[in-house]
Amino acid sequence: MSESGVLERTDATGRKAALRCEGVTKAFQGVHAVNGATFDVPEGQITALIGPNGAGKTTVVNILSGAMNCDSGRELIGETDVTNWPSYKIARLGLFRTFQLSRELHGLTVLENLLVAPADQAGESLVNVLVRPGLIRRQEREHAERALQVLDTYGLYEHRDTRARELSGGQKKLLEIARAVMASPKILLLDEPMAGVNPALIELIGGHIVDLKQSGVTVLMVEHNLNVVEQICDYVIVLAEGRTLATGRLSELRENTDVVKAYLGEVIDAGAAH
Amino acid sequence: MLYYVFTLVFFCFDYFILAMGLNIQYGETGILNFAYIGFVAIGAYFTGVFSLHPAGHSGQHYILGLGLPFPINLLLGGLATMVFALIVALITLRRLRTDYLAIVLISLSLVLYDFCNNFVSLFNGADGLYNVPEPFAKSLGLTVNSFIPFFACVTAAVSLLMWFVMSRITRAPLGRTFRAIRDDEVVAAALGKNVFGMRLKSMLVGSFYAGIGGGLLMQFGGSFNPTAWLPGETFVVFAVLIVGGAGNNIGMFVGALLVETLLIHLPAFLPEIPGHPGLIEYFDNAVVGIVLMLMLWFRPEGVVPARLRRTASFGVSARGDAEPDLTIAVAAHE
């Protein structure tokens, strides 16, 4: 278990960092949402980012994915410094994300949502559209076949021709993960993938996340459901007031008085009250 | 009679082209281009000055005067519009979104209008350009009456060619990425799409269509002046798009037929109401406004709504033995 050093934490998992966040800060009109967050996300593992409401978890995910610029600090993907790169460039390095509130491409069908994801599509070039329709058709067919397989895996096959806005909340969560999978991610940031989802679906999504890990994807997930964290996450980062409070395995963190006081205690108390 | 019919045919196909250009910008990519008529005017003026011979002692004042034949002047007019769009896009598209972009673009339209109106040496100021040569009129020996049907057919042919090209774009992954950006540009960027680059492409393609549509207007009438492109004219093209059905190229033809042809131009050919000369024409814009409101209220998707692209259209067949996933079915009814 560690409370400060980056190297110490990667040693704790015995793996190198796929994603590194060094002293990142972000303030909104003087309010520090993130205040020096420092952590590593170990390669090929599922890491949970937990903390009380307002700890800065979503802001960190937004900064890491390029949706928001940080005020100071550094972000590294592998050895590449990607601090304040735009999202599309970060995505091209293999880092993809889902959103706290599902953001489906509502006017497109479920299948089309997945077909947007693959990189380097020949048909996105105006010249190719005009002079190489055969190449585009071939590539579209390949992508569509793969997309149908992914939809099948995620239980959305029957909805492939449905407009994405017509899906239920749980299905939209699955669609977001399936869409990110279609982009062949190396690192996947999941912002509360289990929020507002029924227990059966939680188990299903959890299973898919474990499958992703087994296929070599590094996962960082913001999650409040500690049962899920306990069951599927290898490593936990605790944020509080925009800082990294502690990192390690959940079982170790339960012994940490600072963590219990800042977050776990609240959760345990809330659980007891029910 | 034939003159009237072919005039209507011309306007229908010309506005089909204009609406396809606005559709790719707004209907497909979500760029609220309230300066669209300004791009049409740039296309018209440049097609004119590429076609006219040097001003000399003609009594007109304009730049260039290259005396190029049709359709080279038309293509160059379209390209000139793209260059203008590139400058506008580099200034506005990177930082501005939705309503802020719309405000800047409508302001740009007003500035452009005043500039062309007052800077006489550019496009002959408020008088506009006139006596622009009619394409093929001399070589084919066309008279004033035979030119109208001829050029209406040329415009129809050009519009069908441009519809074919536009259909390719909108059905390709490029069109899908445009629609993804329209739906949620943050998601599109998170999926690795260069939103600015894509919006720029959409802006340029749409502007080329605006330029060609404007150029054809210039060639059809042989003249073009600021009264033809008052900034409010942009909303007529928006009416075509909304009535026809944003996001559907066929809808653009239907919109052009219903709004531009039947509501705007047909009334000009109707007999006058005795004692009230010009009254019918004055009602044009009011009727368009009412139709627009009714459409937005009762059928916002337009007469021909955007079509979904189903699995089979990607060249793959859906498996027939798929069983519904009960877990998901439960979730669907939460």
Distances in whole angstroms, Cα of residue B322 to Cα of each of A112, A155, A200, A254: 19, 10, 21, 45
Rounded-to-integer distance, Cα A181 and Cα A188, Å: 9
Q: Is B61 on the interface with A (CB under 8 A)?
A: no
The mean pLDDT value of chain B amounts to: 87
Q: How far is CA A35 from the centre of its chain?
A: 21
Interchain CB contact of A207 with B (< 8 Å): no
DSSP-assigned beta bridge partners for residue A190: A221
Q: Which of residues 56-95 of A touch B (CB under 8 A)?
A: 65-67, 86-88, 91-92
Closest CA relative to residue A160, chosen from A111, A200, A227, A98 = A111
Q: pLDDT digits over B176-198, tens only?
A: 999 999 999 999 999 999 999 99
How far, in whole angstroms, is CA A168 from its chain's centroid? 21
> In A166-175, which positions are buried (b, 16+ CB within 10 angstroms) versus exposed (e)?
ebbbbbbbbb
Question: What pLDDT was estimated at residue B251?
Answer: 92
Q: How far apart are CA B130 and CA B228, in angstroms?
A: 13
| pTM across the whole model | 0.88
Burial environment of residue B143 by CB neighbours within 10 A (0 to 12, 13 to 18, 19 or more):
exposed
Q: How many CB atoms lie within 10 A of CB B120?
A: 14
- B89 within some domain: yes
Residue B126 CB neighbours (<10 A): 11
Instruction: Specify the 3-state DSSP secondary structure of A235.
Output: strand
Residues A72 and A194 in one domain: yes
Domain identity same for A193 and A267: yes
Chain B: nearest CA to A164, how far in angstroms?
A: 11
- Range name among A72-76, B56-60, B213-217, B317-321 with the lowest pLDDT average: B317-321
Q: Say yes or no: A52 and A115 in one domain.
A: no
What pLDDT is recorded for position B331?
Answer: 41
From A89's Cα to the closest Cα of chain B, the distance in A is 6
pLDDT band at B330 (very low <50, low <70, confident <90, very high): very low
Q: Which has more confidence, A5 or B138?
A: B138
Q: Are the Cβ atoms of B315 and A140 closer than 8 angstroms?
A: yes
| Residue A248 Rama label (left phi>0; alpha psi -120 to 50; beta) | left
Domain carrying residue A272: 1-94+186-199+218-274
Name the residue range of residue B230's domain.
2-236
A212 in any annotated domain: no
Residue B333 has pLDDT above 50, yes or no: no
Can you list the residues of chain A whose pLDDT is less than 70?
A: 1-14, 264-274
Answer whether A109 touches B (CB < 8 Å): yes
Residue A116 is encoded by which pair of tokens?
């947007």
CB B175 within 8 A of CB B169: yes
- Which of B192, B193, B310 faces A161 most closely, judged by CB atoms? B310
Task: Flag whether A99 is in a domain.
Answer: no
Number of domains in chain B: 1
Would residue A14 count as lying in a domain?
yes
- Would you call B191 and A144 a contact, using CB atoms and an 8 Å cutoff? no
pLDDT in tens, B21-33: 999 999 999 999 9
Nearest CB among A65, A137, A141 relative to B190 is that of: A65
On chain B, the residues whose CB falls within 8 A of the CB of A178 are none
Average pLDDT over residues B135-150: 86
Q: Is A170's Cβ below 8 Å from some Cβ in B?
A: yes
Let me know whether A176 and A192 are in one domain: no
Q: Do B316 and A141 touch (CB under 8 A)?
A: yes
Mean pLDDT of B287-299: 89
DSSP-derived 3-state class of residue B16? helix
* In a shared domain, residues A79 and A7: yes
A72 and A36 in a single domain? The answer is: yes
B183: contact with A, CB 8 A cutoff: yes
Cβ–Cβ contact B274 with A under 8 A:
no
Assigned domain for B250 exists: no
Residue B267 tokens read as: 């009334």
Rounded CA separation A212/A206 (Å): 10
Which residue in A has a C-alpha nearest to residue B333's C-alpha? Answer: A168
Vertex A170 angle, CA A167 and A172, to 5°? 50
Average pLDDT score over residue span B283-291: 83
**Least Cα separation, residue B327 to chain A (angstroms):** 7
For the purposes of burial, counting CB atoms within 10 Å of the CB of A99, is it exposed (0-12), middle (13-18) or buried (19 or more)?
buried
Q: Nearest chain A residue to B184 by CA: give it.
A: A105
Separation of alpha carbons B163 and B23, rounded Å: 12
Which chain A residues contact residue B182 at CB under 8 A?
107
CA separation for the pair A144, B313 (Å, rounded): 10
Instruction: Tell me the residues of chain B between 105 and 164 that have a Cβ less than 8 Å away from chain A.
Output: none
Tell me the per-residue pLDDT of A108-127, one tens digit each, with 9 for 90 and over: 999 999 999 999 899 999 99
Integer angstrom CA distances of residue A89 from A39, A81, A84, B192: 22, 12, 10, 6
d(CA B79, CA B85): 10
Res B219 pLDDT > 70: yes
Instruction: State residue A13's pLDDT score.
Output: 62
Choose among A68, A87, A67: nearest CA to A25. A68
A110-124, A146-160, B51-65, B87-101: least confidently modelled range: B51-65
Q: Measure in Å the smallest separation between the Cα of B271 and chain A Cα atoms.
A: 45
Residue A158, chain B, CB below 8 Å: the answer is yes
- Same domain, yes or no: A147 and A267: no
Q: Chain B within 8 Å of A140 (Cβ-Cβ)?
A: yes
Sort out which chain A residues have CB atoms less than 8 A from B334's CB and list them: 168-170, 198
Provide the pLDDT for residue B28.
93
Q: What is residue A12's predicted lDDT score, i.e. its pLDDT? A: 56
CB neighbours of A180 closer than 8 A, spacing ≥ 6? A96, A97, A98, A117, A188
Residue-wise pLDDT tens digits, B242-279: 999 988 899 999 999 998 888 888 777 777 788 887 77
Q: Is residue B128 part of a domain?
A: yes
